[in-house]
């Protein structure tokens, strides 16, 4: 499976393994990290960004591809919709059927509200499903939410919104309890205690996992709970625009049936945006670990309705995406592989950085090695080695199959036995650190009955997120949004519905001299095949 050049390099990895394993790799100083990020992290590449010319974040920068969508027209400018014909009416409308949306719907239902989920693909087609390595929570004797806060705050470059991060870490143990009671099969030892590991930037072992398909196991249980509660789920139907009322509140959303192309009107007293990430925009031409529908839709819907973004200019590139074989280019190689002991090694067999630096630092170090000729050439670029046989040496024979069975099988499908041979990795677009700005209860600052949860939120993690804090935030902020939306729905009196904000936005685009035939939200990646 490997080329002869790769095989030559593997010999060097093997030759240095014993010595590398005998020496604790050095951690970088804060100054070294800063210099590395500035020189190699994609967030610092000026040509990857463009200025936003309209809306609440006018004058700030965003990735080019996102700016293009923010500068696009609404689909509804050309296709008129009759708001007097209401197809669905509910207390709480949840847009998005991933982990955050499902958690929100479950809690809104629990609080007695009428709730429905609308999702452009199927329930569970979401980044939650793709998450592998685990979910953080400080629930062991040697740990505390304070310690968790300090790790995440430092890892996020001290930029996280304190009220959001505080909620994340304080409510983490209860999130694990809730999931466990829903039926999530966490890894446990013989005494029934949760098995926990480190992630990059954690000072305690607090990563709870379901082998290396933690997100799939969590999503499976959330989906079952939604279906058992008989919460209506409208699948293959996208929200394409929020509806507002004459008091400036949101009043629901215009939906697009993805199969028939028909528009539908959903009226709601509160709306929760839980549309997830943006990996399928392929910022700076990176491959992505994200699911097919990750096209930043919620950011566009909220922004056009007047809700500001926060940290939209900071993106997470997971250090270890598959660099080879090409068939699975960009797929996630869970950080758990490094938690279990695998080192990052360049083509000469040198461990050039500590394997558990935070993600932005680790990704930058890989990009640096490859840029400086220390990467291994692949058909689609280059990569560095992740020395996976170390896991079997450190943890004992069988550790890979037991702890990361999905990863093991994924590579075996391509003739690579990661127990015996290292694997090649390169950063992949994984997560949007930024999103719509919210307060502690999940409400957007600008619109009093519009909430956001999950990856569409900006500010929980600051400018870099630690492993396992995303599966956590979808649960904590999803649950809270559901509870808060249900409560708020009791006091909301809707006025007459309109789409005036769309015309106002179009006028802003015109005033800024932006002429475009493009429409947003994108809904599906640019390379999607549209067959009807
Ligand atoms: O939080 C994540 O992004 C995560 C758990 C990813 C992984 O490496 O498995």
Write out pLDDT tens, residues 266-301.
Answer: 999 999 999 999 999 999 999 999 999 999 999 999
**Position in ligand 1 atom list of the atom nearest CA 207:** 5
In this structure, are residues 199 and 137 in contact, taking their beta carbons and an 8 Å threshold?
no
The pLDDT > 90 percentage for the chain reads 98
For the CA of 212, the closest atom of ligand 1 is 9
The neighbouring-strand residues paired with 444 are 438
Higher pLDDT among residues 24 and 126, named by residue: 126
Tell me, in angstroms, the distance from the centre of ligand 1 to residue 358's CA: 12
pLDDT given for residue 181 in this prediction: 98
At residue 78, the pLDDT reads 73
| Span 115-124, average pLDDT | 98
State the average pLDDT for the chain: 97
Report how far ligand 1's centroid is from the alpha carbon of 299 (Å). 22
Residue numbers annotated as active site: 318, 338
Q: Is the CB of 215 under 6 A from ligand 1?
A: no
Q: What is the pLDDT of residue 77?
A: 79
* pLDDT band (50, 70, 90) for residue 531: low
Q: What is the 3-state secondary structure (H, E, C) of 150-219?
A: HHHHHHCCCCCCHHHHHHHHHCHHHHHHHHHHHCCCCCECCCCCECEECCCCCCCCCEECCCCCHHHHHH
Taking 60 as the threshold, does the pLDDT of residue 532 lie above it? Answer: no
Pick from 151, 153, 154: nearest CA to 165: 153
Is 468 touching ligand 1 by the criterion CB < 6 Å? yes
Q: Tell me 454's DSSP state.
A: G
Q: Which pLDDT band holds residue 79 (cuts at 50, 70, 90)?
A: confident
Q: What is the pLDDT of residues 143-175, one digit of tens each?
A: 999 999 999 999 999 999 999 999 999 999 999
**Ligand 1 neighbourhood includes 334 CB (under 6 angstroms):** yes
**pLDDT tens digit sequence for 93-108:** 999 999 999 999 999 9
* Banded model confidence at residue 258, pLDDT cuts 50, 70, 90: very high
Question: What is the 332 CA–ligand 1 centroid distance (Å)?
Answer: 8
Which atom of ligand 1 sits closest to the CA of residue 132? 9
pLDDT tier at 518, thresholds 50, 70, 90: very high
Cis-peptide into 521, omega within 30 deg: yes
């Amino acid at each position: 499976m490997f080329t002869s050049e790769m095989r030559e390099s593997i010999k060097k990895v093997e030759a240095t393994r014993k010595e590398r394993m005998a020496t604790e790799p050095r951690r970088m100083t804060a100054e070294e990290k800063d210099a590395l990020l500035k020189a190699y992290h994609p967030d610092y590449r000026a040509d990857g960004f463009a200025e936003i010319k309209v809306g609440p974040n006018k004058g700030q920068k965003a990735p080019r591809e996102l700016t293009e969508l923010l500068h696009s027209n609404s689909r509804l400018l050309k296709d008129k919709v009759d708001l007097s014909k209401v197809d669905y009416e509910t207390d709480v409308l949840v847009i998005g059927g991933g982990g955050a949306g499902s958690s929100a719907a479950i809690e809104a239902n629990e609080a007695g509200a009428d709730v429905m989920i609308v999702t452009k693909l199927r329930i569970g087609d979401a980044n939650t499903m793709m998450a592998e390595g685990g979910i953080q929570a400080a629930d062991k004797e040697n740990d505390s939410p304070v310690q968790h806060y300090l790790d995440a705050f430092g890892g996020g470059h001290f930029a996280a919104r304190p009220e959001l991060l505080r909620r994340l870490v304080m409510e983490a143990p209860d999130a694990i309890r809730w999931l466990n009671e829903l039926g999530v099969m966490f890894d446990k030892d013989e005494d029934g205690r949760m098995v926990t590991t480190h992630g990059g930037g954690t000072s305690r072992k607090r990563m709870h996992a379901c082998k290396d398909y933690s997100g799939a196991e969590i999503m499976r249980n959330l989906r079952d709970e939604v279906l058992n509660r008989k919460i209506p789920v409208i699948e293959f139907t996208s929200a394409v625009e929020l509806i507002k009322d004459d008091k400036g509140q949101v009043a629901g959303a215009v939906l697009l049936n993805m199969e028939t192309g028909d528009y539908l009107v959903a009226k709601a007293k509160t709306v929760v945006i839980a549309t997830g990430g943006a990996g399928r925009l392929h910022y700076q031409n990176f491959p992505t670990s994200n699911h097919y529908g990750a096209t930043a839709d919620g950011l566009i819907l909220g922004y056009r309705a007047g809700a500001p973004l926060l940290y939209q200019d900071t993106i997470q590139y997971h250090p270890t995406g598959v660099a080879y074989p090409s068939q699975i280019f960009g797929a996630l190689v869970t950080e758990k592989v490094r938690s279990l002991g695998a080192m990052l090694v360049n083509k000469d067999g040198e461990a050039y950085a500590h394997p558990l630096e935070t993600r932005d630092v680790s990704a930058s170090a890989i990009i640096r090695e490859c840029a400086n000729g220390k990467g291994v050439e692949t058909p689609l670029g280059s990569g560095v080695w992740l020395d996976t046989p170390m896991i079997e040496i450190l943890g004992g024979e069988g550790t890979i199959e037991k702890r990361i069975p999905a990863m093991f099988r994924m590579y075996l499908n391509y003739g690579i036995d990661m127990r015996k041979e290292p694997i090649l990795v390169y950063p992949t677009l994984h997560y949007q650190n930024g999103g719509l700005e919210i307060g502690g209860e999940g409400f957007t600052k600008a619109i009093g009955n519009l909430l956001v949860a999950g990856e569409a939120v900006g500010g929980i993690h600051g400018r870099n997120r630690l492993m396992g804090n995303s599966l956590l935030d979808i649960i904590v902020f999803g649950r809270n949004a559901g509870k808060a939306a249900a409560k708020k729905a009791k006091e909301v009196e809707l006025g007459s519905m309109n789409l005036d904000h769309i015309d106002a936005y179009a006028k802003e685009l015109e005033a800024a001299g932006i002429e475009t035939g493009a429409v947003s939200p994108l809904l599906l990646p640019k390379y999607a095949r549209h067959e009807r």
